[in-house]
Structure 1
Amino acid sequence: MASIELERVNVDFPLFSSRSRGLLNTLLGKAQGHRGRIEDIGHGAIAVRALRDVTLSLKDGDRMGLIGRNGAGKSTMLRVLSSVYEPTSGVMRSDGHISSLIDLMLGMDPDASGYEFIATRCIVMGISSKDAKGLVTDIEDFTELGDYLHLPVRTYSSGMMLRLAFAVSTAVAPDILLMDEMIGVGDAQFIDKARIRLENMMSKVKILVLASHNDSILKTFCNTGIWLNEGQILMQGSIENCLAAYHGN
């Protein structure tokens, strides 16, 4: 049984001291929406509140789509759920193995070989050394990198590096999968192969949280939605209702 909960979570990013308030307002301009996220957090410090009093509860079978404009707080929420960001206040609880496809390059040592990167990335994902060895053949076949896996990843093109990171990150279906947009990896021929692998993985996870600007993708993979604006939840419900409210705003 997988679950994930946020209870009255706030995330603040300190910016300037109070002496720089004039400069801060100049940089942000006169947009009231932006100024509303700037708060005095005490001791002369000013911060951007990236998430404000967010509460949600997800369980087995939930496929949640995060909806909102750029800067609404979608990526911040994903990073809180993946424990990359710790809430400034409030509580995050989870039960089950969480995998994030947000930072595919995490654990990438440029001097490591492709095989060494596989081992390191598996450790980052919480996969045991024994299980990681069992995944190597699948990753070799999927990446089609051949002898390049023996070479330092600094010799790879950006497409080759993303292909390898994607292959490792999708080698095992987690209990909870977090994604920021659907991922296009490598050249046009490889993208279709990657999409099939990703869609197969998404069908197996117990909980999915997907941030996207693509309505079709959200309707295909999600059954519930959250509309975020300025770090706050404006609406939570079916994905269709949330999208309709968002576009009707």
Structure 2
Amino acid sequence: MKPVIEVRDLGIEFYRGKKRRMSLREMVLQGRNTAPTETFWALKDISFTVQPGEAVGLIGGNGSGKSTLLKMIAGVLIPDKGWAKVSGEVAPLIELTGGFLGELTARENVYLAAGLHGLTVKQIDERYEEIVEFAGPQVKANMEMPYRHFSSGMQVRLAFSVITTLDKPVVLVDEVLAVGDRSFREQCYVRMEQMLSGGKTLFLVSHSEADLQRFVTRGLYLREGRLVGDGDIADVLGAYNDYSDNNP
């Protein structure tokens, strides 16, 4: 079976400081750019495949490269070495509210965000009620309000609802299940389970062992930018916890 996600010898190099271009005035006054030029490999030599219908969790401590890897799979970041390929369309649950515009109404943002992900106006019309119902009564009652006036919780509710109605075969998730109140989190869990039961491929980044054990069967373990574990989620979580306990 052809993999739906392929990552081969992937690597990306970052500057340790905020290296930037100097303005003409700075070059005249200072003569040269004194910004740090030291680099490090945030990810290096990462290789794995994910089959259609698999549910995979990405595990690692803060700064291990999890979100960076997810963004490279999503095509947001370009690797310096190797490549990442996704066969099929993606529903990216990453920085959910990033594509929403504060000056537009919530209704306008639904059409904008869904349209940018490939839905036609007719398709959005057909799904509109489902989107706002899932987002909850407070969101539904204020769809003509500028999006910037929504609370952060309301913004995330609407964004999650839009993205999870896209019906894409590959779902990339970065910690978004940790947001919202208890009731909304349970709604999100149910929606995720429905997506998985429909045969979608899940790639989940989370620090929550409960979420990982609930949704995924396979774990990938990143440590200091390298892939050090790939196997059953219980075994990979055990290896991660053992290392964390012995290296506080």
Using structure 1 for the length normalisation, give the TM-score: 0.82
1:165, CA displacement in angstroms?
A: 1.0
Letter in 2 for 1:55: S
Partner of 1:215: 209
Distance (Å, rounded) in 2 between the aligned partners of 1:2 and 1:150: 43
Q: Which moved more, 1:105-114 or 1:194-203?
A: 194-203
Distance (Å, rounded) in 2 between the aligned partners of 1:48 and 1:129: 45
SS at match of 2:166: coil
SS at match of 2:142: helix
Partner of 1:84: 76
Partner of 1:10: 11
SS at match of 1:51: strand
Distance 1:242-1:127 versus aligned 2 partners, 3 A rule:
same
1:58, CA displacement in angstroms?
A: 1.0
Whether the 8 Å contact between 1:153 and 1:161 is mirrored in structure 2 is: yes
1:126 aligns with 2:118: yes
1:178 aligns with 2:179: no
SS at match of 2:119: coil
Q: Among all aligned residue pairs of Structure 1 and Structure 2, give the percentage whose two residues are the same amino acid.
A: 31
Partner of 1:234: 228
**Structure 1 portions without partners, runs of 5+:** 19-43
SS at match of 2:38: strand
1:182, CA displacement in angstroms?
A: 5.0
Distance (Å, rounded) in 1 between the aligned partners of 2:120 and 2:42: 34
Letter in 2 for 1:101: L
Distance 1:236-1:47 versus aligned 2 partners, 3 A rule:
same
SS at match of 2:238: helix
Distance (Å, rounded) in 1 between the aligned partners of 2:17 and 2:211: 39
Distance (Å, rounded) in 2 between the aligned partners of 1:188 and 1:246: 27
What is the count of residue pairs matched by the alignment? 224
2:95 aligned residue (97, 103, 110): 103
Distance 1:194-1:215 versus aligned 2 partners, 3 A rule:
closer
1:57, CA displacement in angstroms?
A: 0.9
1:201, CA displacement in angstroms?
A: 2.3
Using structure 2 for the length normalisation, give the TM-score: 0.82
**Structure 2 portions without partners, runs of 5+:** 20-35, 244-248
Letter in 1 for 2:103: D
1:2, CA displacement in angstroms?
A: 6.2
1:165 aligns with 2:159: yes
Distance (Å, rounded) in 2 between the aligned partners of 1:219 and 1:108: 31
1:70, CA displacement in angstroms?
A: 0.8
Distance 1:233-1:127 versus aligned 2 partners, 3 A rule:
same
- Cα offsets for 1:149-172 (capped at 9, x unmatched): 112112212222111111111113
Higher strand share: 1
Q: Which runs of 4+ in 1 moved over 4 A?
A: none
Distance (Å, rounded) in 1 between the aligned partners of 2:38 and 2:83: 23
Partner of 1:36: none
1:78, CA displacement in angstroms?
A: 0.7
